[in-house]
């Protein structure tokens, strides 16, 4: 879909229905930043588990499952 058509179509533009979305956009940016940090931390943990030569494949799988389940 063409961007100019989206901007000219008043019914599909969510931002024009609100006086200001700055607060919501800041909250969204903050939550995305938090999510990105968590994903990087989890990726690093999985990478460390996979590269640990002292663990068997079964142990690696169990540690990754434990990480995915949130440590439950």
Q: Residue ranges per domain, the chain?
A: 21-72
pLDDT at residue 14 greater than cutoff 70: no
pLDDT digits (tens, 9 = 90+) for 15-63: 566 566 778 888 888 888 888 888 898 899 999 999 999 999 999 999 9
Backbone phi, psi, residue 40, to 5°: -65, -40
| pTM (2 d.p.) | 0.55
Among candidate residues 15, 67, 66, 72, the one with its CA nearest the CA of residue 44? 67
* Residue 18 DSSP one-character state: S
- As a whole number of angstroms, the distance between CA 14 and CA 58 comes to 49
What is the sign, positive or negative, of the torsion defined by CA atoms of 62, 68, 71, 72? negative
């Amino acid at each position: 879909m063409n961007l100019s058509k989206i901007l000219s179509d008043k019914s599909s533009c969510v931002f024009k229905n609100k006086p200001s979305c700055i607060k919501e956009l800041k909250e969204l940016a903050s939550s995305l930043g938090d999510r990105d940090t968590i994903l990087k931390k989890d990726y690093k943990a999985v990478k460390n588990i996979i590269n640990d030569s002292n663990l068997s494949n079964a142990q690696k799988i169990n540690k990754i499952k434990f990480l995915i389940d949130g440590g439950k």
